Amino acid sequence: MKTGKIIAAAVLAAGLAWGASASAQTYTSYTSQLSGGNLIDFENLANGTLVDTQYSGVTFGQDGGGGRPQIDQFPMLFGYGSSSGDHVLTGSTEGNHAFDTIAGITAHFTSGQNAVEFFFSDTAQLGAYPVQFLGAGDVVLATVTLANDGSVLPPGYSGGIFPPPGTSPLPGLFVGYNSGSNNIFGIAIGPSGASNDSYAIDDVRFHAAGAPEPAAWALMIGGFALAGAALRRRSALTA
């Protein structure tokens, strides 16, 4: 293979590595798919706290404006699944409504993000929940609907107020969106179409894109190393 072709192949591999890490996609998973960036696990706020601007870089609210979701120390009430600790954020209307969470939860980021993920829990499975990932001006970038078909509950758990001891994973799943650029400015979660429904979120994680991911760097470095080796070999043969 000629040196020019080798270098072109290396550059192509580097471009593919970068592009693979930047492709836009939504996902649901029983395990977290996102790492790094900013993590909000709600463990530092007391049960019943109304949440809006307590966390740097994000403002929480409720659909329709004016409301604030509240912290639930879940073993005390309905036993929502939590991906860490025992505090979650519920869609309760301005607090003091552990059940009948008729409002959706919103989160708006101070700056554009490349990837967003959160843990969603609904022990009752009463209704379908729409999840929207929003761009500037609340333009909808992507939508995921968590259907009332058991998909939010892990195998072996059919719902109820408290998950049985040892339930793993807990009743809920991670929902996320990876964008090709830093254009995610918010998320809107729920509410469901059912009355007297309840749900919670936990472990909101978000980060902005910078350099390529480590795996992409490895492919790029490997490709350029291959090109360098080919150049050295050609120089030696010429000499």
pLDDT in tens, 122-177: 755 556 788 999 999 999 999 998 875 555 565 555 555 555 555 555 567 889 99
Residues 133 and 220 in one domain: no
What would the mean pLDDT of 20-37 be, rounded to a whole number? 82
Same domain, 96 and 144: yes
| Whether 59 and 151 share a structural domain | yes
CATH, residue 37: 2.60.120.200
**Do 13 and 40 have their domain in common?**
no
Residue 78 and residue 14 share a domain = no
Residues 161, 228 within the same domain: no
Confidence tier at 225 by pLDDT (50, 70, 90): low
The answer on 154 and 142 residing in a single domain is yes
Q: What is the pLDDT of residues 185-222, one digit of tens each?
A: 999 998 777 666 678 899 999 999 874 545 544 555 66
195 and 239 share one domain: no
Task: For residues 74 and 17, state if they share a domain.
Answer: no
**Three-state SS annotation for the chain:** CCHHHHHHHHHHHHHHHHHHHHCCEEEEECCCCCCCCEEECCCCCCCCCECCCCCCCEEEEECCCCCCCEEEEHHHCCCCCCCCCCEEEECCCCCCCCCCCCCCEEEEEEEEECEEEEEEECCCCCCCEEEEEECHHHCEEEEEEECCCCCCCCCCCCCCCCCCCCCCCCCCEEEEEECCCCCEEEEEECCCCCCCCCCEEEEEEEECCCCCCHHHHHHHHHHHHHHHHHHHHHHHHHC
Residues 174 and 63 in one domain: yes
Report the pLDDT value the prediction gives residue 155, as an integer from 0 to 100.
Answer: 55
Domain of 238 in residue numbering reads as 1-22+211-239
pTM: 0.72
Per the structure, how many domains does the chain have?
Answer: 2
Output 20 or 114, whichever has higher pLDDT: 114
Q: Are residues 147 and 160 in the same domain?
A: yes
pLDDT at position 131 is: 94
Are 119 and 186 within one domain? yes
